[in-house]
Amino acid sequence: MAFFQANFYSEALGFQTTVNVFIPQRSTTGQIGVAGNAANGEYKCIYLLHGLSDDHSIWLRRTSIERYADEYGICVVMPFGGRSFYTDMKHGEKYYTYISEELPCLMAEFFGISTKRENNFIAGLSMGGYGALKIGLKNPQRYAACAGLSAVADIRGWTEGCPELMTPIFGENPRVPASEDLFNLAETVNQNPVKPRVYMGVGTEDFLYEGNVKLKEKFESLDFDFTYRESSGTHCWAFWDEYIQYVLKWMFGEK
């Protein structure tokens, strides 16, 4: 795998930002301990979103994502999303537009990453789990599948419990717009002939567990290709390092 840290200007955000990218390397002769599973043709790509307290570097620092991705010969794109919940903020930046529209075009421009739906996937943890599910549901024409690990599944409770965090995102009105609520989005997207596959994973001791179970029940009541997995675990990197491996296997199949 080749690793790139790209610094560039985002028109959606209005400032310079950074993204970390892994690109499969087709020829790795002589490199010790590397299988080199890069295939000919266009690469599949997963966009990985970080949580509330982290940034674009965290998946690199807390997991073995490069090694896991190398097994499948896929690209990995890890952008910075601030504390935006991957939303076009009421008092802040347009992170939803940046991640869902601008970034894929820039990745195609800079690295030749495919823009075909069947080659694009998105996943995240916690705040990023919410963002990945939301972006996947709102853009079924762009993403074949989306996955949320320990996701902020029911964001409605956060507007009342964390006003200092949510007011810049949604404004002074504590009501979450239907377009930002995963339960409403699932209902709306259920009418579409084309829908992303959906994966959710959560630890049974996670403080977000109940919200995840409620959203699971919503997806199960609708016509989605839906996969859910839970096991003992808290809101921690040991859990996410394990579960991102399940996500990659679910998205890209066994090698």
What is the mean pLDDT of the segment spanning 203-217?
A: 98
Sorted by sequence, the CB contacts under 8 Å of residue 232 that are 6+ apart come out as 203, 204, 205
- Tell me the C-alpha distance between 106 and 163, whole Å: 34
The whole-angstrom separation of Cα 76 and Cα 79 is 10
Q: What pTM, to 2 d.p., does this model score?
A: 0.95
CA distances from 222 to 40, 179, 188, 189, 192 (A): 37, 18, 10, 10, 12
Does the pLDDT of residue 218 top 90, yes or no?
A: yes
pLDDT at 139 over 50: yes
pLDDT per residue over 16-66, tens digit each? 999 999 999 877 666 656 666 666 678 999 999 999 999 999 999 999 999
| pLDDT at residue 255 is higher than 60 | no
Determine the length of the chain: 255
Domains of the chain: 2-252 (3.40.50.1820)
Q: Which residues contact 15 (CB under 8 A, 6 or more apart)?
A: 9
As a whole number, the mean pLDDT across the chain is 94
Are the beta carbons of 184 and 178 closer than 8 angstroms? Answer: yes
